[in-house]
Structure 1
Amino acid sequence: MTLISKRLPTTVVGSYPVVKGSGLLARMDPLKHAVETAVADQVAAGIDIISDGQVRGDMIRAFTSHLPGIRGSSVVGKVQPAQRPITLADTKYALSRHPKVKGILTGPSTLAHGLSIETTFYRNKDELVLDLAQALAVEASHLQDAGVALIQIDEPIFSTGAANIAVGREAVNAIAGRLRVPVCLHVCGNLTAVIDDVLRTNVAVFDFEFANNPQNLEVLSAKDLRGRMVGYGCVDSADPGVESVETIRKRIEAGVEVFSAEAMLLDPDCGMRMQTRDAAFGKLKNMVVAAGLVRAEYTD
């Protein structure tokens, strides 16, 4: 699979610090400026596959607030697809500024575990997960039709032990199975207890954190990825400090020894919404420089 015509392309996991605008336009859409800033900073940093910045709320409410059958944090009826696209407008804006954009969805299991069931329609969260997958598949189709290069499904719940991964995997497969565009599954945290279950998911890219969880590199080193790519978290998104180019370079080189330069897509561990804009931009910029240095080592 070729996402972009270079080794070690760079991307982001998703969220970016929210920089709100001011004035009349900001009153009409308070977060439009935040989207524009997030996109502009990613482009300026030299990121190969950008996102829309995921600035419109937390990863749960950003989706559940649009889905019929959900009121607040409660499931009150059968969950249905949103009446209109949720992330399409911001994704189209990103596409107007950069040729390669990643569409991002919070995964069905993570959404389900952020909700309480207050209806007899669902006996348990496993049933809810599968209906959420059908709703998200519609959103994914909108993003695919818009021209995204990749669709990422975020399932941080997978590494916690709280979710039924067999059902979660079925749900992710249900979304990916309806798409032509490559699908990436992002799971943060320590993967030791769940890696075998996660790798059974039918996606083209697995995105994991390796900067804040270096033990994941050892865990993955013994696994057969069967030709799938690895989204390689080489920047610690939880650290407010900006790592040096050399630090990031060493992390990337350690990954290349395990996965090969052709199999890696470089990004931060997770989203960087909680960082300052300066820190987030600095991390992205240094990641791009480090990627270029390592890439040069493998140029024929």
Structure 2
Amino acid sequence: MRLMSRLLPTTVVGSYPVVKGSGIFALVDPLKHAVEVAVADQVAAGIDIISDGQVRGDMIRAFTSRLPGIRGSSVVGKVQPARQPITVGDTKYALSRHPKVKGILTGPSTLAHGLAVETPFYRNKDELVLDLAQALAVEAAYLESAGVTVLQVDEPIFSTGAANIAVGLEAVNAIVARLRIPVCLHVCGGLSAVIDDVLQANVAIFDFEFANNPGNLDLLSEKDLRGRMIGYGCVDSADPAVESVETIRKRIEAGVDVFSPEAMLIDPDCGLRMQSRDAALGKLKNMVAAAGMVRVGYTS
């Protein structure tokens, strides 16, 4: 599967530093400026598949605050789809500025583990996960209709051992089954305890971190991806220092030796929300430059 015509296309995992606006327009929508900055910076950096910046709150509340059946951090009734699209407005703005945009959902298991079940409707979080999947599938369909190139489902909880991965994968697969576009599953952290389970997901792309967890590369070198792509995290999103182009280039080349350039999508390890704007932009620019250097070596 190829998302773009050229090798080693670049993308982001999603989030970007929040740069709030000021003045009268900020009173109406204080985060509109943050979306505009996030999109503009990604385009300026040369990213091939951008995001909307995920600037409207943390990855849990951005979704749970809009789902009927949830109040605050508590599940108080049957979880239902949101009454209106949650992320589509910002995604459409990104699409108005760039032809390739990634839609992003926080996964059902990660959402469930950020909530307290305070209703007899759910006997446990496994049941909640499956209803969250049905609610998120509606948002996924909205994003597909809006024109996103790929949909990413974020499940950082998978690498922690806290989630029932069998149920989590059932939930992810339920979202995938509703879509025609490629779906990417993002799992950050070390994967040694969960990789065999995670690779059972019915997704087209697996997105993992390799800069901050280089052991993941050795782990994946022994696995059969069965034609699926790898979102290859080659920039340390937890480090405020901007890695040099040469450092990132060497990381990408190490990945190419394992996966081949045709199978790779180049991105940071995770979201960049916690970094300064200058650091985030610097990391993306250097990543794009490094990917370009490696690409030339395989196309010249």
Q: Which category of TM-score, normalised to the shorter sequence, fits these structures?
A: over 0.9
Q: Please state if 1:59 is matched with 2:59.
A: yes
> Secondary structure in 2 aligned to 1:14?
coil
How far apart in 1 are the matches of 2:28 and 2:109?
33
**1:154-192 C-alpha deviation (Å, 9 max, x unpaired):** 000000000000000000000001100000000000000
How far apart in 2 are the matches of 1:11 and 1:297?
20
Aligned to 1:42: 42
How far apart in 2 are the matches of 1:24 and 1:143?
30
Aligned to 1:210: 210
Aligned to 2:97: 97
Return the offset for 1:2: 1.7
Q: Please state if 1:32 is matched with 2:32.
A: yes
Aligned to 2:125: 125
Aligned to 1:3: 3
Aligned to 1:174: 174
**1:77-99 C-alpha deviation (Å, 9 max, x unpaired):** 00000000000000000000000
Return the offset for 1:275: 0.1
Alignment of 1:100-179 (within 5 A): 100-179=100-179
Residue identity opposite 1:45 in structure 2: A
How far apart in 1 are the matches of 2:91 and 2:84?
14
**1:112-158 C-alpha deviation (Å, 9 max, x unpaired):** 00000000000000000000000000000000000000000000000
> Secondary structure in 2 aligned to 1:230?
strand
> Secondary structure in 1 aligned to 2:299?
coil
How far apart in 2 are the matches of 1:136 and 1:266?
26
Aligned to 1:289: 289
Residue identity opposite 1:230 in structure 2: I
8 Å Cα contact 2:2-2:262 kept in structure 1: no
> Secondary structure in 2 aligned to 1:232?
strand
Aligned to 2:197: 197
Aligned to 1:19: 19
Aligned to 1:251: 251
Q: Which runs of 4+ in 1 moved over 4 A?
A: none
Residue identity opposite 1:296 in structure 2: V
Aligned residues: percent identity?
83
Aligned to 1:220: 220
Return the offset for 1:73: 0.1
How far apart in 2 are the matches of 1:5 and 1:98?
16
Give unpaired runs (5+ residues) of structure 2.
Answer: none
Count the aligned residue pairs. 300
Residue identity opposite 1:253 in structure 2: E
Aligned to 2:84: 84
Aligned to 2:240: 240
> Secondary structure in 2 aligned to 1:298?
helix
Return the offset for 1:25: 0.5
> Secondary structure in 2 aligned to 1:96?
helix
- Root-mean-square deviation (CA, aligned residues, Å) is 0.4
Aligned to 1:276: 276
How far apart in 2 are the matches of 1:57 and 1:241?
24
> Secondary structure in 2 aligned to 1:110?
helix
Residue identity opposite 1:273 in structure 2: R
8 Å Cα contact 2:230-2:264 kept in structure 1: yes
Alignment of 1:258-273 (within 5 A): 258-273=258-273
**1:265-299 C-alpha deviation (Å, 9 max, x unpaired):** 00000001000000000000000000000000100
Aligned to 2:231: 231
